[in-house]
Amino acid sequence: MNIAKNQEQKQLLCYWIQLQQDQMPLAPRAQTLCDLLAKHPKVSAAIYLRWQSESNIYQAESTHPLLPPGQADASNTTDSAIKQLLSAHSWISLEQIYQSNTWLSSRLTRRGWKQGIAFSFALDSSTSGMLVLHTQEPAAALATELAILVTLLETTGLNANSTTPSYRAHNRDPHPSAICHLEGAITDVNFAFHSLAQQQQQSLEQCLPANHRALVNACVQQHRAIDKVEARVGNRLLQWTYIPLSPQQVLLRGQDVTEELTELKAAAKAQRLYRVITENTTDLISRHTLDGVFLDATPASWNLLGYWPEELRGTSTRDLFHPKDLAQLQQDAVADLQELGYHTMTYRVRHKDGHYLWFETASRAIRETYTGDVVEVVSVSRDITARVKAEENRRRLAEVVEANTDLVLFISLQGTVTYANKAARKALGLALEEFSSLATIFDTTTFSALQKTGWRHAVRRGYWTHEAQLYPASSSQPLPVSVVLLAHKSAGGERYFSLIMRDMTERALRESEQRQYQEERSHSARLIALGELASGIAHEMNQPLAAISNFAAATQRHLQQLEDPNGAIQEKVTKGLEHISHQAHHASEVIRRLRAFLRKGQRRLEPLSLPTVITDTLHLCAWELEREKITVEQLGLVEPPEIYADRTLLEQVLLNLIGNAIEANGLAHSGQPSRIILRTTLQDNKVVISVEDQGPGVDKDTLTMMFTPFFTRKEKGLGLGLSMSRSIIEGFGGDLSAENKPNNQGLVVHCTLPIAATPEEIK
């Protein structure tokens, strides 16, 4: 049977035989034998065990694969049963070993081998032992083949012990080797040495160390091997070993260590780098037991916790945890490390000074190779106190922004709304995803100003302010707001913006109320001034009016004493004087009533017939109507209901309205015939007297302000007629209003009087 079927097996076989010939220690011989057997296609692993006669157990001589300790006490358990089985049989299976309840059976059980076969094997005449092969098939199927192989190996090994050593450079040796005489002359080289010299284009002597001859002499004279002597061959680095074979011969064996030294240098560099990193990193790297006891720590522990690594060794992490975090952290950490092999946690840890810091720790479990038990834990910890505080500040700030009654929007550089607080969502009636564009919520003027100047000013000055109108989706009324646009920069230098808008509805309402209050005060002041003016006018006008009346009366008496043969002239003068007297009396009465009205005095209210009042009023202005060729047309109710009012004041109001209509027609028609319509109607239990002219009408502003005291568009007007007329009509419980006729064909003034008003109700 061919023991070695390939080149690798042949090299291992030659090496094992050489070890047997040189009577090398038992351990390397056993390991080489196991490596050789493991190359068999049906053998997964092999282990050699030497019999220990002192303890009656089999002890493993090969270091790979390892056998874990047994589960029982070795002093109370023996392997004698297995030795007896091997002495009685040429081979035994693993099942038989497991049934023996021995020390070796427990070790193989923990190793996890399911099937295999064991043979008795002696490496030399003085050593008895056993070969255990872990196979891929049941033992019975491989017993014959493996038994023959083991027997051949045992026979070859024992024969090698009795063979005379051959002092030739072995061509099977993958490393360069040579034989030289005492003077240093090379007598034999193997194939590997010859190939090396050819590849590097060097002679054989140039491949050896520079002090080659001195090394040969020292090796022979001192009867010892000299190893690890370096020699550079081209771009390769070799380490030579000088081994004395006889007083005249020395074996030279070289090993190419270029890659090994490169790896060693890289490893040393990496180790130095690792030491620099661990000693200078700001993170704490530590080793612990599973229950949290410190095994070691990097010097960062001083900067982070105030403890040197020597102070932490042997202490428990429980002593540093915050009491509120302790129970949960320990429970979660142990569970995750055992099940998953890693655990990440955020917790509070006590500094040596007594204050607490926030730490973030990532831990990984280191497991025992065979059992999988966690033997230690490696952790990397960092101080995140500043980050936790910053996150807490951001959380509090976010709560403040969300609870703020002002409308807050966050806007990206592209103008997209990325956040809207609760007040903004409620005021605008939109969800966050519905904030598609600022153009949908701002009025056109504000959005245009924002586009043209807002962004630029905010970037340059940090802010931009504006007064704007928002248009909520749930309301048709605009929302007045005060806008502040703020520009910000992120940590990466990117721009973003925030819009803060304050609801100005209440302020606008207060301002409106303030304006109204001021207008009322101004109106009251004007009325007071008007009252004083009217009192002064009444006082000044009463005397000339009284004189006119007296002179008219005296003139009438004198005319009666004159003799007039015809009597016609006397009659005309008498009638003229009567008119003068009547008009003077009427003017005096109006002034007296107006003065009483402005002083809130007693008014003389009585039931009035509107047709009579209107007829008397038209009679008073007949001369102006005739002069301007204006016809008055009365329409509407023939017999309207009676109302309670002061006759003189009501006539004065109607006279004022008709007089304004005469002036409007005169402006529009310039002496051409025109007309004024007096229309009487009933509306909502009220009598409405409408005076319609054919004038040019008035503009919108004039229509709004025409009843305001002292407002006039006449060059010589005081602006008191319509204001006083409205005050008089409102005093009767009515109203005075005006509107333009369609296409500005004139003005219509409506005088509304309640028909149910009695003197008691008006008071």
DSSP string over 311-373: HHTT-BGGGTB-HHHHHHHHHHHHHHHHHTSEEEEEEEEE-TTS-EEEEEEEEEEEE-TTT--
Place of tokens 């009487």: 680
Residue 62 carries which DSSP code?
A: -
pLDDT at 271: 81
Of 469, 503, 537, which closes a domain?
503
Residue 350, in any domain of the structure: yes
Residue 275, in any domain of the structure: no
pLDDT at 547: 62
**426: how many CB neighbours lie within 10 A of its CB?**
13
Question: Which residues are CB-contacts of 210 (< 8 A; sequence separation ≥ 6)?
Answer: 231
Q: How far apart are CA 502 and CA 483, in angstroms?
A: 7
Evaluate if pTM is beyond 0.85. no
Within this chain, do residues 751 and 620 fall inside the same structural domain, yes or no?
A: yes
Residue 153 carries which DSSP code?
A: H
10-residue mean pLDDT series, the chain (763 residues): 68 78 80 89 91 88 79 72 90 91 88 91 85 90 86 77 55 83 83 83 87 90 89 88 87 88 84 79 89 90 91 90 80 85 90 92 90 90 91 86 85 79 81 72 82 85 85 74 86 82 75 65 58 59 64 69 62 68 68 56 73 86 84 87 85 88 86 90 89 89 81 71 84 88 86 71 51
Question: Which residues are CB-contacts of 574 (< 8 A; sequence separation ≥ 6)?
Answer: 556, 559
pLDDT at 357: 93
Of 162, 195, 218, which closes a domain?
162
Of 602, 635, 660, which closes a domain?
602
pLDDT at 201: 84
Residue 315, in any domain of the structure: yes
pLDDT at 27: 86
- Look up the CATH number of the domain holding residue 303: 3.30.450.20
Within this chain, do residues 47 and 149 fall inside the same structural domain, yes or no?
A: yes
Helix (H, G, I), strand (E, B) or coil at 100: coil
Helix (H, G, I), strand (E, B) or coil at 724: helix
- Look up the CATH number of the domain holding residue 64: 3.30.450.40
Q: How far apart are CA 74 and CA 71, in angstroms?
A: 9
Residue 272, in any domain of the structure: no
Q: How far apart are CA 5 and CA 250, in angstroms?
A: 32
pLDDT at 756: 57
Within this chain, do residues 329 and 360 fall inside the same structural domain, yes or no?
A: yes
Sheet hosting strand 374-383, strand order edge to edge = 294-297, 284-288, 374-383, 356-367, 342-350
Residue 169, in any domain of the structure: no
Helix (H, G, I), strand (E, B) or coil at 763: coil
Of 358, 360, 283, nearest in space to 322 by CA: 358
- Look up the CATH number of the domain holding residue 752: 3.30.565.10
Residue 533, in any domain of the structure: yes
Within this chain, do residues 651 and 736 fall inside the same structural domain, yes or no?
A: yes
Of 759, 711, 459, 414, nearest in space to 604 by CA: 759
Within this chain, do residues 618 and 757 fall inside the same structural domain, yes or no?
A: yes
Within this chain, do residues 381 and 411 fall inside the same structural domain, yes or no?
A: no
Within this chain, do residues 609 and 712 fall inside the same structural domain, yes or no?
A: yes
- Look up the CATH number of the domain holding residue 538: 1.10.287.130
Residue 398, in any domain of the structure: no
Work out how many domains the chain is built from and give that number.
6
Query: Do residues 91 and 83 touch, judged by C-beta distance below 8 A?
Result: no
Within this chain, do residues 101 and 36 fall inside the same structural domain, yes or no?
A: yes
Query: Do residues 357 and 349 touch, judged by C-beta distance below 8 A?
Result: yes
pLDDT at 607: 86
Residue 76 carries which DSSP code?
A: G
- Which structural domain, as residue segments, surrounds residue 123? 7-162
Of 458, 483, 459, 456, nearest in space to 469 by CA: 483
